Each structure stands twice: as structure tokens, then as C-alpha cells.
A = this chain, B = another copy of it.
């Protein structure tokens, strides 16, 4: 049986960069390894439930991330591997996450803005560029790149499987999973 400890793997990056796809795939991979306690916390899901009262101003984004940190911390200290996928554009809040949660791996899902605009899986960039939605990260709102992420994934150059393997490797390297 695989031994593991609680840890939060925090995926940050632009909308459309591939955070959720990679986190979903990693979850399946971990489950297939016999790891039972894995939880995905996804921006789109959370905004329909726990954070349905929040918009996209800086203040609301920060409150959103504060709540994610609160939940991820509870799960992590109860031996759950938590995979969060949020744009989480502000460095300050990500750093609070790292400090609060402790067992924390910051993964920067890096993809050029032009490529994200081309992918535009939810049609949101189109709307943002037409001024139909406001406060859109990369268009009308800033994204603060991580200065020292634990890992960078280049999703315009790597396959999903390659990215997933890189994340798995770093979880193992850091001793959260014992093979």
C-alpha cells in the first residue's frame, strides 16, 4: 500500500492554461495508485457553491482564495492530498496559502496569453476582449507570476501526461508520497 501525507498542490495560472485538466488527470492517476484521500477543489465548482456570493473584484478574488485556503488547510492536516485549480492571480494570497497550509506545492501552469486566447475553452476571452465581462485576468486584470514556484508546467509545449508526471514526481521528491 502506498503511504502518503496530506499536501496541497496549488495550481495557478491564466484561465485556459490547463490547470483543471491537469489536476483532474492527476487525481485519476493518484486514485489508480491506490491513494484514497484525494480531493479536487475547482474554481468553477466553488463559485457555484461556497463562493456564490463573490464576484471578481480584487477584494472578492482575495476572499475567494481565503476560503480555499481555509478548506485546503483542514483537508491537508487530515492527510488528504488536495489539488486546487484557481487562477489565484495575486502573489500575496498564494503566499498566505503557503504559510497557512505548510505542506504546499505551488505549481505555475504557464501558457502564453495568446495561446490561452486561442484555446478560449469557455469563450470568456472573447467576451472580455469585447468588454462584455470586466475584471478578467490577463485582459483587464493583472496576473502576478509566481517568483519561486516549486514547479512550472509549460502547457503550450508539454502534453497533459507529461505535465501530470512532472507534478507527481515533485510530490514524491518532497516526500508526500512514498513509493
Contacts of A34-53 to chain B: CB distance below 8 A: 36-37, 39, 49-50, 53
A133 an interface residue at 8 Å Cβ cutoff?
no
Does A126 reach chain B (CB closer than 8 Å)? no
Could you tell me the distance between the alpha carbons of A74 and B46 in the complex, rounded to whole angstroms?
A: 12
Q: How far, in angstroms, from A74 to B74 measured CA to CA in the complex?
A: 10
> Number of residues in A with C-beta < 8 Å to the partner?
15
Q: Is A67 in the interface zone, CB < 8 Å from B? A: yes
Q: Knowing A78-B75, A78-B80 are in contact, say whether A70-B49 is a contact too (CB < 8 A).
A: yes
The verdict on A62 contacting chain B, using a C-beta distance below 8 Å, is: no
Find A79's partner among B37, B70, B71 (CB 8 Å cutoff).
B37
Question: Which residues of the partner chain B approach A37 to less than 8 Å between Cβ atoms?
Answer: 78-79
| In the bound complex, CA of A68 to CA of B53 (Å) | 15
Q: Is A63 an interface residue (CB 8 A)?
A: yes
Cβ–Cβ contact B79 & A50, under 8 A: no
Q: Kindly provide the distance from the CB of A120 to the nearest chain B CB, expressed in whole angstroms.
A: 30
Could you say which of A37, A50, A75, A78 has the most chain B C-beta atoms within 10 Å of its C-beta? A78
For the A-B complex with A71-B74, A74-B74, A78-B78 known, give 10 more contacts whose Cβ atoms are closer than 8 Å.
Answer: A36-B79, A37-B78, A39-B74, A50-B67, A50-B70, A53-B53, A75-B75, A75-B78, A78-B79, A78-B80
